[in-house]
Structure 1
Amino acid sequence: MAEPAGTGIAGGNHPSPARDLERIARQERALILPGLTEDDAWRMGCWLRQAASTHGYPIAIDIRRGEQTLFSACLEGATPDNLGWIARKTRLTARFHRASYAIGLQLGQEGKTLAERFGLSEAEYAPFGGAFPLRVRGVGVVGTLCVSGLPQREDHRLAVEALAAFIDMSPEAIQIPP
């Protein structure tokens, strides 16, 4: 499954990248967790799985603390390719402590590839939406939440919705438009 299909860096189906980057920066500042235990990851993952199942989304979900996988699930229709996307998007977010979608949008604005800007291979890193840094208040980035299987903008929106739900925040206040 081609992660960026129909939207994203090359697609014109969304508002300006500059506005999205501003909104994503607000999301990254606002979506701060009180902690990240195994139980927290389980609840986040189960919420995501239920939401995806309700909508019939064919996604894979991955929640990590550092290198440790705390939650992983594939819904009907997800493919092994989605797990590859998760690995590459998660690697990018873990390296830069930024949402993978933001990095992709920034590269698009600059007209550069990962290799040109950072010397990174897209075989190892994916600048497409779906991975979001997990920040703990008073600690910083401790892990990642990643969704793969929808167009990249929707992967990003679903990850944000899950984090907002987990901390009892209304996602409408910070969500990028569909």
Structure 2
Amino acid sequence: MTLPEFTAETAWVLGTMLRAKAIERRHTLVIDIRRFGRPVQPLFYTALPGTTGDHARWVRRKSNTVARWQRSSYAIGLKMAGLGQTIAERYALPAAEYTTDGGSFPINVPSAGGVIGAITLSGLASREDHELAVEVLCEHLGIAYSDLRLK
């Protein structure tokens, strides 16, 4: 899924859409939208009631995975499961810095060079974190979620 552009305003719109859905569904969730680079540029962050500092650590680990592989953390998790390995075993990466749990989705803007950031959720089950990000991106882009949701 690609975006035609990505600005701080885009991050705000996506973040508030995610937050509204999370509140409506009574999710305990952290939502983080960031642009990659040195340093990382945080553009949207919210921690809903019931979340802890651990959720922020999960967000960082999930988004690190997207930054490294340019794919969703859920897709990397499925790949590793299919190989019967962890990323620590296969790539010698520390579990304290990377995770293959779902919930971080790449922000892909071809005109800006490809994957430039991530939308990351933490608080639901891996697949549910991933799916909520996909659902909101579809809504934002006017794409039928039913065409892209996991079966």
TM over 0.5: yes
Give the equivalent residue in structure 1 for 2:23: 53
1:162, distance to aligned residue in structure 2 (A): 1.4
Give the equivalent residue in structure 2 for 1:130: 103
Give the equivalent residue in structure 2 for 1:70: 43
Mapped to 2, the partners of 1:163 and 1:119 lie a distance apart of 32
Mapped to 2, the partners of 1:90 and 1:34 lie a distance apart of 21
Give the equivalent residue in structure 2 for 1:161: 135
Give the equivalent residue in structure 1 for 2:65: 92
Q: TM (normalized to structure 2)?
A: 0.94
1:59, distance to aligned residue in structure 2 (A): 0.2
Give the equivalent residue in structure 2 for 1:43: 13
- How many pairs are equivalent? 147
Mapped to 2, the partners of 1:175 and 1:79 lie a distance apart of 28
Percent identity for Structure 1 against Structure 2? 42
Structure 2: which 5+ residue stretches go unaligned? none
Mapped to 2, the partners of 1:115 and 1:61 lie a distance apart of 26
Mapped to 2, the partners of 1:119 and 1:166 lie a distance apart of 37
Structure 2 residue 50 is matched with structure 1 residue 80: no
Mapped to 2, the partners of 1:41 and 1:136 lie a distance apart of 13
Structure 1: which 5+ residue stretches go unaligned? 1-30
Higher mean Cα deviation, 74-83 or 39-48?
74-83
1:137, distance to aligned residue in structure 2 (A): 3.0
Q: Which amino acid aligns with 1:40?
A: T
Q: TM (normalized to structure 1)?
A: 0.80
Give the equivalent residue in structure 2 for 1:148: 122
Structure 2 residue 111 is matched with structure 1 residue 111: no
Residue deviations 1:59-79 (CA, integer Å, cap 9, x gap) = 000001111000000111111
Mapped to 2, the partners of 1:51 and 1:159 lie a distance apart of 10
Residue deviations 1:27-62 (CA, integer Å, cap 9, x gap) = xxxx21011100000000000000000000000000
